[in-house]
Amino acid sequence: MAKKSTKNVLAAPAKGKLGILMPGMGAVATTFMAGVLAVNKNLAQPIGSLSQMGRIRIGKRTNKNNQPLMKDVVPIQDLKKVAFGGWDIFRDNMYEAAVHADVLDINLLNKLKAPLSKIKPMKAVFDKQYVKKLDGPHVKKGKTKMDLAKAVMADIKKFKKENKCDRLVMVWCGSTEIYIEESAVHKTIAAFEKGLEKNSKLIAPSMIYAYAAIKMGIPYANGAPNLSCDVPALVDLAKETQTPIAGKDFKTGQTLMKTILAPGLKARALKIDGWFSTNILGNRDGEVLDDPDNFKTKEVSKLGVLEQILEPKLYPELYKDFYHKVRINYYPPRGDNKEGWDNIDIAGWLNYPMQIKIDFLCRDSILAAPIVLDLALFLDLAKRSNMSGIQEWLSFYLKSPQAPAGRYPIHDIFKQLHKLENTIRHIGDEDLITHLGLDYE
């Protein structure tokens, strides 16, 4: 393949300041914001973030120095030019919220106290019936859900002006809401807007934020497993307003391990009889998930992963009867430091059984924070590249990736990475790598 002489990068330059808005400013959001501030002060490194540390192969393997940083191939927003904002049902500023979350070392937080204390949440759109174990005082009032959506839009405009932002993105970092099935009110934009006016119970607060953002053309990502923007009405609205969206549920911890390991076992045609996953978790997220209706939302998100990777219909001898169980146990002493156990019963040649045990002593918010960063920066990149609707190339970060109607989601992390890398190459006007023909060289 001939080397390109001139590059015609798809994305407009990342000029000015990017505002990153988060509904829900708890453990994940504060760990993310404090982390970016720490990186900007050279106090720490953005480990886990591809937008900051990831390299990508460009061109043939025979070329030396062909693995530049992704941020040198496409124009990614400069970390020093971002502003943070958001909403929460508690009034705590971001220093107080980070101390309460108890994820980061207090010595580090004290070095960031001044900028963190300045970030104060706006009043939330919240209704306890969607998150049964939570209640707080810092909540908006409105006669209809449409009024609340308009109030969020007014907040967004005010934030943009006050912080002198050129562009905005929104990432849902709020609690997991109760399980809601897609229904008639979610099918079309008109039905959804009527539902907002009529206070439909099937429209949860996360959907109100999503609607407000997408209506204004602001890219939106959903870090929790609740439906949020994963309904036809909001997907259509995203196309209409030329807004990139991504969801749902940050892929961290046990599911990250699953999507790393399962494709490998399947690639070697090893049989899986069962996969039992359980974990203990003691943060506020764990407390919210202790309610059966909220856990159900998470369970659905976690269970879909293996079914799609293993494809039992195509491989009945290997995976037809596999048993998959996922438990989450709220156990306060562990705080954010989750421990996840997996027992995997596999079988090899002539059906001889074997077992794999995983004991992952992870840190939930430490794994989630770089995902918030990459989703925010890559969605902004997508917007500047005139890409809209579901951004499947960001499935890499998500436990239950949204896929266009009629298509199944891809869960295999290596296929997801391949798609992400080729999208970066496409935006950067570089040749795609298919591992066939000349680019195999």
Ligand X SMILES: NC(=O)c1ccc[n+]([C@@H]2O[C@H](COP(=O)([O-])OP(=O)(O)OC[C@H]3O[C@@H](n4cnc5c(N)ncnc54)[C@H](O)[C@@H]3O)[C@@H](O)[C@H]2O)c1
Distance between the two ends of the chain, CA-based, in angstroms?
Answer: 10
Q: Which residue is nearest to ligand X (CB)?
A: 26
| Closest CB 176 distance from ligand X, rounded Å | 4
State how far the Cα of 195 lies from the Cα of 184, in Å rounded to an integer: 10
Q: Structure tokens of 298?
A: 């998470």
Binding segment for ligand X (CB under 6 A), chosen from 43-51, 119-127, 210-218, 426-434, is 119-127
Asked if residues 133 and 290 have their Cβ atoms less than 8 Å apart, the reply is: yes
User: Is 380 near ligand X (CB under 6 A)?
Assistant: no
One-letter amino acid for residue 234 of the chain? L
Strand partners, 193: none
Using CB under 6 A, which residues numbered 49 to 108 contact ligand X? 87-90, 101
Task: Give the torsion sign (CA, 379, 385, 388, 392).
Answer: negative
| Closest CB 416 distance from ligand X, rounded Å | 16
- Closest CA relative to residue 386, chosen from 427, 340, 435: 427
The pattern of x and - marking residues 349 through 368 that bind ligand X according to CB under 6 A reads ---------------xx-xx
Q: How far is CA 430 from the centre of its chain?
A: 26
| Closest CB 44 distance from ligand X, rounded Å | 18
User: Is 27 near ligand X (CB under 6 A)?
Assistant: yes
Of 224, 262, 265, 344, which lies in the binding site for ligand X, with binding defined by CB under 6 A? 224
State how far the Cα of 416 lies from the Cα of 392, in Å rounded to an integer: 8
One-letter amino acid for residue 32 of the chain? F
User: Is 402 near ligand X (CB under 6 A)?
Assistant: no
User: Is 119 near ligand X (CB under 6 A)?
Assistant: no
Nearer to ligand X, 172 or 378 (CB): 172
User: Is 171 near ligand X (CB under 6 A)?
Assistant: no
Of 222, 252, 337, 385, which lies in the binding site for ligand X, with binding defined by CB under 6 A? 252
User: Is 24 near ligand X (CB under 6 A)?
Assistant: yes
User: Is 430 near ligand X (CB under 6 A)?
Assistant: no
Instruction: State the number of CA atoms in the 13 A half-sphere of 17 facing the CB.
Output: 15
Q: Structure tokens of 349?
A: 């040649």
User: Is 285 near ligand X (CB under 6 A)?
Assistant: yes
Strand order in the sheet with 271-281: 323-330, 271-281, 339-348, 352-361
User: Is 401 near ligand X (CB under 6 A)?
Assistant: no
User: Is 200 near ligand X (CB under 6 A)?
Assistant: no
Binding segment for ligand X (CB under 6 A), chosen from 213-221, 237-245, 246-254, 316-324, is 246-254
| Closest CB 418 distance from ligand X, rounded Å | 23
DSSP string, 226-277: S-TT-SHHHHHHHHHTT-EEEES-B--HHHHHHHHHHHHHHHTT-EEEEEEE
Q: Phi, psi (5° rounding) for residue 118?
A: -75, -20
State how far the Cα of 311 lies from the Cα of 318, in Å rounded to an integer: 10
Nearer to ligand X, 177 or 193 (CB): 177
Using CB under 6 A, which residues numbered 303 to 332 contact ligand X? none
| Closest CB 137 distance from ligand X, rounded Å | 11
Distances in whole angstroms, Cα of residue 175 to Cα of each of 104, 248, 408? 20, 13, 26
Maximal CA-CA distance, the chain:
67
Using CB under 6 A, which residues numbered 122 to 161 contact ligand X? 124-126, 131, 134, 136
Q: Which residues contact 76 (CB under 8 A, 6 or more apart)?
A: 14, 51, 70, 377, 378, 381
Binding segment for ligand X (CB under 6 A), chosen from 25-33, 147-155, 193-201, 324-332, is 25-33
| Closest CB 268 distance from ligand X, rounded Å | 29
Residues that bind ligand X (CB under 6 A): 23-28, 87-90, 101, 124-126, 131, 134, 136, 173-176, 205, 223-224, 249-250, 252-253, 283-285, 364-365, 367-368
